[in-house]
Structure formats: C-alpha cells, structure tokens
Chains A and B, each alone.
Chain A
Amino acid sequence: MRSMKETIAERTFLLSAIVSSSITLIIFGFMLFMALPLLSGGKILRILSSAWSPGNGSYGIFPMIVGTLAISFLSVAISFPVSIGCSGFIGILGPRQLNRYLKKIVQVMTGIPTVIYGFVGIFLLVPIVRELAGRGSGMSVITAALMLSVLISPTMILFFNDSFERVPRSYLEAADGLGANKVQKLVYVILPNAKKGIIMGLILAFGRALGDTLVALMIAGNATQVPGSIFDSARTLTAHIALVIAADYESIEFKSIFACGIVLYLFTTAIVLGVRYLASGRRKMR
C-alpha cells in the first residue's frame, strides 16, 4: 500500500503540472475575452484587413501584419545562408581547434539581450542605413531585419549543428572510405541527411524573429502604413502592442490590441505544430 506522503507528493506534482499547463490556455482565453466585442460578426475580418487610422475610427491591424511578416521573412532570408555557412564551418570545414571556441561564442550570443541589439542598432546601424538609402530617417524594414538576423542566427546555427551531429557516424565513415573530402561530405552526406533539422531550425528562427519586440520597436520606425519598399518604415504587431497600450480600457483601439495578441499567439501555435509535425516524422523514419 502506498503511504500518505507518496500520494500527497504525487498530487502536488500533478497540481503543478495542471497549473502550469493551464497558463497556456488562460493566456489565450484572456486574449479572446478582452477582444470579445470585436470577434462578433464580420468585425474581425475588417480589423485584420483594414488600415490603422484611429482618427477615422478605423482600427485595422493589416499594416502591422504585413510589417511583421516582411521583417521576419527578410531577417530569415539574410540570416539563413550565413547560418548554413557558419554551421558548415563549425561542423566540418573549419579548423577543429578554432571550432570549439567559435561554438562557445555562438552559444554565448544567444544570451545577448535584445534591447542591446536595439540600442546599438539606433546609434550604429541606423545612420549607416540612412546614408545608404539616401532618404528617410534610416529606421526601416531592412534596418530591423539586419539586426534581427544577427539576433536569430545563433538559434539557427546551434540547431543546424545539432542536426549535423545527428547524421550517423557510419554514413560519414562510408564517405571517408570512398575518398570523399570535407566539402563533398558536407554537400552529399551531411546536408541531405540533416534536411529536416534545417527546416525546423528555419521555422524556429522565424518564430524568434516574429516574436521579438524591442529590435523592431526601436529601429523599424513604427510607421502605421504598409511598407512599400525595404527602406520604408514599418511597425510590427509586437511593437504595435507596446505602443498603443496607454489607451482607454474601454475603447475599440485598446480592444484591437488583443486582436494583435491573438494573431501572434496563433502564429506561434502554428510554428510549434509545424516543428512537432516535422519532428514526429523524423522519429518515425528511424
């Protein structure tokens, strides 16, 4: 028979698990509850697809959705080739002595606060972009995307490297036996076998770019128009939440912020589900 103590302990652990997992649902529930008046009828579609001009009573978040996607895609597009190159370097191409230290540097990079990237971005990157663009303030889609690409590349590199290391040793030894050199091993053995891991790393890095607030808030310029070019200023959903928060609690303006929250939450959930789907496929393959 199990003692009281055992049962109480198990119940306590179970209770903690219930409490912490319900937080995931409570957050979503709260967002829905706060945005409730907007969700009835066709209002939600109008919010998602129209422009933001509170003066005219229009509280659409369409420009912010476009801004978020533009900045995130661009930062992933910039960071992906560099990250593949870096993980190829750390994984196999670079000198082994050096690689130990490089990997440490990349690990430590994951710890650099995003507010620091934003701060340095304002004073270092923004003037450079302003010169290059020859117009505007230098706070633009490309500025934020460049800084974000530095922010997300450690995520990608570490994840890529991890999937490189999971390529079975025997494959590499077979390639060695056939006289393959390092580059051939990377291109013909490692990359094809790590394809799923690479896609997962990409998706996760995209999620990281999507969810970041400070970089876009500080250096993307926060204009509420749909950006027409990469040198235009734009506002992300995350920055929008941070900027509008001071409004009156009962206003539609305030409620529309929670629509932003819901959109971000759903993006995140889609990303998590996508990665889990890929991961489960990988497990079945073995």
Chain B
Amino acid sequence: MKRPVEQAITGFAWLSMAMLLFAVFSVIGYLFLKGYPSLDTRLIFGDTAVLDALLLRKQVFNGLFPAAAGTLVLVVMSVVWAIPVGIATGIYLAEYASARVKGVLNLFFDILAGIPSIVIGLFGFALAVFLHKNFSRAIQPCLLISSIALAFLVLPYLIRTTQMALEGLPEDTRLGALALGATKLQNIFYVLLPRSLSGIMSGVILAIGRCAEDTAVIMLTGVVATAGIPKSLFSGYEALPFYIYYISSQYTSPEELLTGYGASIILLAICIVLFSAAFLIKKRLTYIAFYRS
C-alpha cells in the first residue's frame, strides 16, 4: 500500500472517532446547557414542600414528581413480572434443554428480542381492547397492561444474560458439587446460580434501564399526560419518557419547555448510571447478550 493511502486511512479513523464524539457530546452538552437552570428541587416537587410530596400528603402539580413516581412503579412492576419467568427460562435453556429444543427456543427469543417496541405496545393495546370487550368493561389501557407489555419487552434480555452466565461457567465448577453427591437442582441453586449472579444482575439492571427509557410501549398502553401519583393498577399514569415526548410537541411556555429539558437530564442520568453499572459488573457479557452470534 502506498504511504499516502495509509495516512488517509489513519486520518479517516481519527475523523470518524472525532465525528462520533462530537455528535454524542453535542447531544449531551446541549441538554445540560439548556437544562441546567432547571435543576433544583422545584423541578421535581414544584411548589409543594418536599416532605409533603414524598409522604403523599399533598399533590404535586407543576413538578416531575408524579412522572418520576409513575416510572418507578412501572419499572418495579414490569421487572417483578419478568424476573422469575426470565431467570427460570434461562436456567431451563442452559441446564435442561436438549440441543434441538434449545435451537428452536433460541430462535423464538431472538425474534422476541428483535420485535420493535411499538409492536409490543400495539400488542398490549390490542390485549386491553380484547379484555375490555370480552371480560370486563373496567379494563382499559392502564398501569397493569403497560407493565405486562414491558415485561414482554425485557424478557429476552433476562433470559439471555441468565443463560449466558450459566453456560459460561467452567466445567470443573459445574462438576464439583455433583461429584460430592449433590442433585442437579442443588447444584443449580447452591453452586451455579451464586457463581453466575453477577451476569444475572447485569441483565436485571439492563432490564430496569430498558423499562425506564422505553416510550413506545407505554404510549400505546396507558400512559397519559396528567394523572398524578398512580393510584391503582387499572388507571392511567405519568412517566418521565412520555413527559419528555409530550412536552416536546405540546409545550405552551418557556418554563414548561425548561421542565422538559430537566426531565431529559434526569432520565439520561438514570439510564447512563444503570448502563454503566451493568457494564461495570460484566464487561463483555452485556452487549454480546443482545447481539449474540
């Protein structure tokens, strides 16, 4: 290869890296530049006293508290549905399934992982319509439907990380307890699962991050612009990502827009902390888990 061509290639690599960093830091920098004046307790609690709001003694009207509370409840509920099923499925795939069954199930979970979140949202919506027509008039898009749809969305992440963590254990770890007379189940619960805990945890953290940031699923399954603190499983609720989307098109004053920037910074911070934590716990596992070859 000629020298100038080599230099051009090196130059191109530097340029690409610079472009990528420029793009990311202009997105993040722009948010902070525009949004930092909004960052104080008023952003979250509005004019209500902090303690009153936290103890639910008074309603918060012009702050992000209801949206943040909605996101929190939603994330906890979705993860509570998804974790037992996801981890149990991961254990089945890694420890029980035959090669054939595993191949078929892996295909299913690959497809499930690839389904666009809006399609899962559409499914959730259709489910609500179906239940509304056939079972109870009381059922409509609500917190419960959203959390179930979100659980479907993050299920493949949990299955993958659990399966990969278990399959990645060295053979001698696997055989030790069995050699001492432990049953297969004892081996799984006392040896294999504790050893793969960090991998499973990184999956759980990623699932939490996905639930917190997802907008497409919830906008079809029950999130609304104003609902206050979530009161029941069968009512609408507010959420941070939807609030950001809503404000971006419906803001009526510069103050409202500023709250949108503030909400974006909070959501960004939450997601970056969660994803960093997941990567810190398991350096390689996480992204390979999504795009396993």
Contact = CB atoms under 8 A, between A and B. Distances in A.
Indicate whether A and B interact. yes
Interface string A99-129: 0001011111111111111111011100000
By size class, the interface of chain A is 35 or more
A182 B127 CA distance: 56
B248 A183 contact: no
Interface string B107-120: 11111101111111
B89 A16 contact: yes
B110 A272 contact: yes
Given A124-B30, A183-B10, A258-B122, A23 B88 contact: no
A24 B245 contact: no
A241 interface: yes
A34 B126 CA distance: 8
A207 B114 contact: yes
Interface of chain A, main secondary structure: helix
B68 interface: no
B119 A110 contact: no
Nearest to B8: A183
B232 to A, nearest CB: 23
Given A13-B92, A115-B267, A242-B216, A211 B293 contact: no
Chain B contact residues: over half helix, strand or loop, or mixed?
A: helix
Interface in A1-28: 2-3, 5-6, 9-10, 12-17, 19-21, 23-27
For A84, A116, A155, the residue with the greatest tally of chain B CB atoms inside 10 Å of its CB is A116
B34 interface: yes
A122 B109 CA distance: 34
Contacts of B178: none
A242 B260 contact: no
A222 B147 CA distance: 28
A145 interface: no
B213 A114 contact: yes
A84 to B, nearest CB: 7
Interface stretch (B42-50, B55-63, B169-177, B268-276): B268-276
A285 to B, nearest CB: 12
A83 to B, nearest CB: 8
A265 B92 CA distance: 26
B94 to A, nearest CB: 10
Contacts of A268: 111, 114-116, 119
Interface residues on B, range: 35 or more
Nearest to B245: A115
B24 A150 contact: yes
Given A17-B93, A214-B215, A94 B17 contact: yes
Given A94-B13, A183-B1, A9 B185 contact: yes
B20 interface: yes
A153 interface: yes
B230 interface: no
A84 B287 CA distance: 18
Contact of B15 (A12, A85, A113, A265): A85
B229 interface: no
Contacts, number: 271
A31 B112 contact: no
A245 B129 CA distance: 12
Contacts of B244: 115-116, 119
Contact of B152 (A23, A93, A117, A271): A23
Contacts of B130: 30
Contact of B17 (A86, A155, A264): A86
A67 interface: no
A112 B29 CA distance: 13
A73 interface: no
A10 to B, nearest CB: 6
B24 A109 contact: yes
Interface string A206-236: 0100111110011000000000000000000
A89 B41 CA distance: 42
29 contacts: A13-B88, A17-B92, A19-B89, A20-B159, A27-B112, A81-B16, A83-B16, A88-B16, A107-B275, A111-B271, A112-B27, A116-B264, A119-B244, A119-B245, A119-B264, A120-B27, A182-B10, A184-B6, A187-B9, A200-B291, A204-B291, A211-B118, A212-B116, A213-B215, A218-B249, A241-B220, A245-B122, A268-B115, A272-B107
Given A27-B123, A31-B126, A114-B213, 4 more contacts: A6-B184, A30-B127, A111-B209, A272-B114
Interface of A: 2-3, 5-6, 9-10, 12-17, 19-21, 23-27, 30-31, 34, 81-86, 88-90, 93-94, 102, 104-120, 122-124, 150, 153, 155, 157-159, 162, 181-184, 186-187, 197, 200-201, 204, 207, 210-214, 217-218, 238, 241-242, 245, 249, 257-258, 261, 264-265, 268-269, 271-272, 275-276, 278-279, 282
